[in-house]
Structure 1
């Protein structure tokens, strides 16, 4: 496999960078990644047989080359993006994606990443040990986070939803049509194998999902107060600090 950092891709190839970053999910789905939850939202976790969104991906057996598999997967993801747009998600353009990544690399250098103060870390490992009510707990997490986002944003404000290794989105929490179901979220709040980040344009607060440590970090006075007043059920144990949390390097992999 060929792996390279998106930071090495020039502006003229921004669209390729976005597409190639998504290609790594093809290998995750095909190889059934050993990381707990990694790639699952392209299969069962985000697939609801009673929901029209085509979010369950399986590689057709007649596709024999990597290019064919990637092209098919990209077409499915494009359909998914169109469906997500109907409920309030907007996929960032290649230019927006590159500009935002450049800002994030300046603000949060990956070799010394630390969420801004004030911040607090919650251990969420309880959800990974709970098969019977996993979806119930994730739905509760989504709903309470959405309520906090609405409480801390203006009616017309957008939030960036960043799945570090895949497509990036923005959404207006006040307009998002969701009852908390996992399949309704383009980028999950719950870390399922990738590093996730939810931030407003001015970075005054943030939600960080760290799969390596089964934890979620909340930063910003206002957002911390909103979460403390209505905590998700999975926030069972508050940790003291998160200096061990470092987001992974952003890589792209073409199968």
Structure 2
């Protein structure tokens, strides 16, 4: 595996294999016409936040804080010899070695986890932790105990509203009013 700069584009059979594994593991049901959301079977150790708090975000301060927080936590969860998958539905997908990506490789990672019209997924190769951005529901699901331990408190402060926990409705729907 040649990962010049820590980034390798997934192509051909490998691209298909990764998507097949993802679709099977998470029971992925893509499409805007999906009658039920979420579009994946969210794991028991997951929290899904609404991204609506980012709609009124002059200068993208909250968005940048969310992305920096999640990139940093994914970096911390991933051992130096391991890789992450970055899947962007119907677009280029990558395998990255976060510890090999340096400031000279701008942007730091080849894609943001912000769902910008398509599903955007950042996952450990073994799918134990990661994020799933849903463009039409306007949410981000953070999965896996190691990742949740690093980001939950800060994401509650940035995004303000949990939608689901463990795939079911959250009892902490509006964090803004709880404080």
Normalised by the shorter chain, which TM-score bucket? 0.7 to 0.9
Kindly report which structure 2 residues correspond to 1:81-100, keeping only aligned pairs within 5 A, or say none: 87-100=5-18
TM-aligned CA distance change 1:86 to 1:230, over 3 Å: farther
Structure 2 portions without partners, runs of 5+ = 30-38, 170-179
Kindly report which structure 2 residues correspond to 1:222-241, keeping only aligned pairs within 5 A, or say none: 222-228=146-152, 230-231=154-155, 234-241=158-165
Contact 2:87 2:121 in 1 (8 A): yes
Following superposition, the deviation at residue 106 of structure 1 comes to: 1.9
TM-aligned CA distance change 1:196 to 1:178, over 3 Å: farther
TM-aligned CA distance change 1:229 to 1:127, over 3 Å: closer
Structure 1 portions without partners, runs of 5+ = 1-84, 245-255
Following superposition, the deviation at residue 147 of structure 1 comes to: 1.3
TM-aligned CA distance change 1:143 to 1:123, over 3 Å: same
Q: Deviations over 1:126-150 (max 9, x none)?
A: 21232x222x333222221121012
Q: Deviations over 1:101-153 (max 9, x none)?
A: 121222122347312221101111121232x222x333222221121012211
Following superposition, the deviation at residue 87 of structure 1 comes to: 4.9
Q: Deviations over 1:177-214 (max 9, x none)?
A: 259x7x54422111111101111111111201011121
Question: What TM-score do the two structures reach when normalised by structure 2?
Answer: 0.75
Query: What secondary structure is seen at the aligned counterpart in 2 of 1:122?
Result: strand
Matched, 1:219 2:143: yes
In structure 2, the residue matched to 1:121 is 48
In structure 2, the residue matched to 1:172 is 97
Query: What secondary structure is seen at the aligned counterpart in 2 of 1:225?
Result: helix
Give the distance between the partners of 1:88 and 1:139, measured in 2 at CA. 22
Q: Which of structures 1 and 2 has the bigger CA Rg?
A: 1
Q: Equivalent of 1:133, from 59, 62, 66? A: 59
Q: Equivalent of 1:146, from 57, 64, 71? A: 71
Kindly report which structure 2 residues correspond to 1:28-47, keeping only aligned pairs within 5 A, or say none: none
Paired residue total: 156
Contact 1:91 1:170 in 2 (8 A): yes
In structure 2, the residue matched to 1:207 is 131
TM-aligned CA distance change 1:163 to 1:243, over 3 Å: farther
Q: Deviations over 1:205-255 (max 9, x none)?
A: 1201011121110111111101125438642222234569xxxxxxxxxxx
